[in-house]
Amino acid sequence: MLFPKLLEPFLVLFGYLHFKLKSSRYCYKDKQAVDHDKFKSLKKLLCESYDNIPFYNEKYSAAGFDPHKDFNCLSDFNKVPILSKREARENQDKLINHAKSQFCLEFKTSGSTGNPFRALISPRHWIIEQSCIWRHWSWAGYKFRDKMAIVRSHVPKNDNDLIRIDKLRNFHYFSPFHLSDKHIEFYLEKMNEFGITFLRGYPSSILAIANYAQKHPNVKLPKFKGILTASERLAENDKRKMEKYLNAPVFNHYGLAEQIVMFGGCEEGTHLHNYEEYGHLELLDIEGSSFKKIIGTNLNNYAMPLIRYDTGDLAEVVEEKCSCSRVSPSIKNVIGREDATITLADGSKIPVTNFYTMFEYYDNELSSWQLVQEGVDNLKVILDIKEGIDVPGLLERLDKDINDRLFNKLNLTFDVSGSFVYVGEGKKNPFIKSIC
């Protein structure tokens, strides 16, 4: 039985109370005390899953691991077998703890990779989720019922339905599917009229507004106190552009539909902090790469626990610690998916992460870009080119740079219309693959 939608606001309320009473201070808690809390949570989760979910019992028994006897300190967690994304998708129903899933929430991934996933979430976890979100927003200075414009999570029925208002929370939703200059001009007029003080959305959506502000320096902008981004990779140069042209600091956020781990940027704006009471984070080395695998375990979801789950995402890690006084582990940024690869005709694969840095060199000429592999032999590059740019010259340089990385093994085409492919509720992934 799923948790009734009508009761979800009560979980949000409990989340706010949890934030005020505990979560707001937890990020300053002594590391030894946090590790003790995590050990207890992991011990309970492992034993519960081992005893009540045959999938985990079989998986751990095959590895010679019994959490009742073999998990005695936090470092013993390395003995637990990693759960791959593919393995989780192939065994979705087998991961459910039927003794704990009688009253839960359901979330689904967008399935943009062709492998949608259904996750069942315990109400207790959703309370912690809301608590951590409140804490992240509080770092930006947000207070309950501050007027927020949200350029995501709204799929309009028609052109007369571009804005939806949640009066209880003072949320003003704007369609992320309509971001032409004409629409952005209209959105900014409405934001000024509503007295918006916070802006939230996908990085690609916020970047479109920042690009508009750059092109129209005399436009009247709302007096934003903070900008909240999430659900897409946020490049550092895009973050700087948003802050410069929208006159407000950006607070980035990372989470997953599977509800595994959650990161958030603090007031310093240099790192993303793991929320320790939410999920246990592991950053594993990748041979031949400076990036790290993000492996996570949700500490509070007993309905469908995903333990040592390989998120498929990669983290950029730097030695310098955040200058804030929070003790939680931090990373520089989430840079993309490990399995986001362009497939060549000979079966070899090229990581899309190879192109992120390349496109940053074109920041003065491109507003945005997207790669779409439409078949075994074809790669389309969709571009939104800034005004006054020598388009033929730009395409000639891009053709060479991209083909150098693809070894001239794909047919390359360019679409300069800026008509990007969107998934879910208006999310623009940097790479879309329509072949297996």
Q: Please report how the helices 203-215 and 181-194 are oriented relative to each other, as an axis angle in degrees rounded to 10.
A: 100
CA-CA distance, 20 to 105, in Å (whole number)?
24
What mean pLDDT is predicted for residues 418-428? 84
Residue 369 lies in a domain: yes
**Which has more pLDDT, 316 or 159?**
316
Distance CA 13, CA 127 (A): 8
Burial label, 143 (beta-carbon count in 10 A; 0-12, 13-18, 19+): exposed
Residue 87 lies in a domain: no
Provide the percentage of residues in the chain whose pLDDT is more than 70: 96
Tell how strand 411-415 and strand 378-385 pair up.
Answer: parallel
| Structural domain contains residue 64 | no
224 domain residue, yes or no: no
- Say how many residues make up the chain: 436
- Of 198-202, 276-280, 420-424, the one with minimum mean pLDDT is 420-424
pLDDT of 111 > 70? The answer is no
Ranges 238-242, 267-271, 391-395, 420-424: which has the least confidence = 420-424
Do residues 65 and 80 make contact, with C-beta atoms less than 8 angstroms apart? yes
CATH number of 365's domain: 3.30.300
> What average pLDDT does this structure show over 192-196?
97
- d(CA 416, CA 418) in angstroms, rounded, equals 6
Note whether residue 280 is domain-resident. no
What is the number of alpha carbons within 13 Å of residue 53 lying toward its C-beta? Answer: 26
Rounded to whole angstroms, the Cα distance separating 278 from 29 reads: 14
Residue 344, classified by CB atoms within 10 Å of its CB into exposed (0-12), middle (13-18) or buried (19+), is middle
SS (H, E, C) the chain: CECCHHHHHHHHHHHHHHHHHHHHHHCCCCHHHHHHHHHHHHHHHHHHHHHHCHHHHHHHHHCCCCHHHHCCCHHHHHHCCCECHHHHHHCCHHHCCCCCCCCEEEEECCCCCCCCCEEEECHHHHHHHHHHHHHHHHHCCCCCCCCEEEECCCCCCCCCCCEEEECCCCEEEECCCCCCHHHHHHHHHHHHHHCCCEEEECHHHHHHHHHHHHHCCCCCCCCCCEEEEECCCCCHHHHHHHHHHHCCCEEEEECCCCCCCCEEECCCCCCEEECCCCEEEEEEECCCCCCEEEEEEECCCCCCCCCCEEEEEEEECCCCCCCCCCCCCEECEEEEECCCEEECCCCCEEECHHHHHHHHCCCCCEEEEEEEECCCCEEEEEEEECCCCCHHHHHHHHHHHHHHHHCCCCEEEEECCCCCCCECCCECCCEEECCC
As a whole number, mean pLDDT of residues 122-148 equals 95
Rg (CA), the chain: 22
Residue 287 to residue 292: CA distance in whole angstroms: 9
Give the tens place of pLDDT for each residue, 356-367.
778 888 988 998
Residue 112's pLDDT band, with cuts at 50, 70 and 90, is very low
* Overall number of domains in the chain: 1
Q: How far apart are CA 31 and CA 78, in angstroms?
A: 19
Task: Decide the pairing of beta strands 198-201 and 148-151.
Answer: parallel
Q: Is position 34 within any domain? A: no
In this structure, the strands spanning 366-373 and 431-433 are parallel
Question: Does residue 37 or residue 235 have the better pLDDT?
Answer: 37
Does 390 fall in a domain?
Answer: yes
pTM of the prediction?
0.84
CA distance 150 to 210: 15
Please check the confidence at residue 328 and state whether its pLDDT lies above 60: yes
Domain of residue 424 covers 341-433
Q: Is the pLDDT reported for residue 209 higher than 70?
A: yes
Residue 353 domain-assigned? Answer: yes
Tokens for 63? 């590895």
